[in-house]
Amino acid sequence: METKLTRKLNVLEAALANFRAAMTLEPTQFSELVADNIKSGQIQKFEFTVELLWKTVQVFLFEIDGVDVVTPKSVAKEFVEAGHCDYETYELFIQAITDRNQLSHIYRQEMAETIRRRLPDYVSLIEQISSTISAAKGAALAPR
């Protein structure tokens, strides 16, 4: 039986693969117009994937730990407090959420470029959290 968590995790992993693939493109190897579109696409994939990340963690916390939280930053806080990640991962998770919010609400070219330089770290973060969720989900479903 497919659970809500399984569905969310599958969608997150597909988005992560798409985000990861977008990050393999080096904008400096293209004309200015194409480079600008590549950068915009990378940022958009980041925003979308971080949105899926916190919502997947939210469902994970509810299904695995019985914790019901509703805001992105409270989800990150409960994830670390439940022992699913270390404090360094938590801080990067919070930074990703903050960057996503800034891009969604206040767009400035300089800010976008600063955040874009952090995107490889965010790919790694999402990979790590996705793996953690998959492993914990598997352990929770294993026969005892």
CATH number at residue 69: 1.20.120.330
Dihedral over alpha carbons 52, 55, 60, 65 (to 10 degrees): 160
Collect all residues with Cβ–Cβ distance below 8 Å to 9 and sequence separation of at least 6: 56, 60, 130, 133, 134, 137
pLDDT, residue 138, reads: 77
Residue 18: phi, psi to the nearest 5? -65, -45
| Total count of domains within the chain | 1
Helix, strand or coil, per DSSP, at residue 46: helix
Residue 144 covered by a domain? no
Name the pTM for this structure. 0.93
Distance CA 109, CA 95 (A): 18
Does position 107 have pLDDT exceeding 90, yes or no? Answer: no
Question: Percent of the chain scored above 90 by pLDDT?
Answer: 85
Average pLDDT across the chain, whole number? 93
Q: How confident is the model at residue 66 (pLDDT cuts 50, 70, 90)?
A: very high
Whether 117 maps to a domain, the answer reads yes
Asked if the structure places residue 37 within a domain, the reply is yes
Residue 11 placed within a domain = yes
At 37, is the pLDDT very low, low, confident or very high (cuts 50, 70, 90)?
very high
Is residue 19 in some structural domain?
A: yes
Domain-embedded: residue 62: yes
Domain range for 102 is: 4-139
- Residue 70 falls inside a structural domain: yes
Alpha-carbon span 87 to 11, nearest angstrom:
26
Q: Which two tokens stand for residue 24?
A: 């393999």
Q: State in Å, rounded, how far the first CA of the chain is from the last one.
A: 18
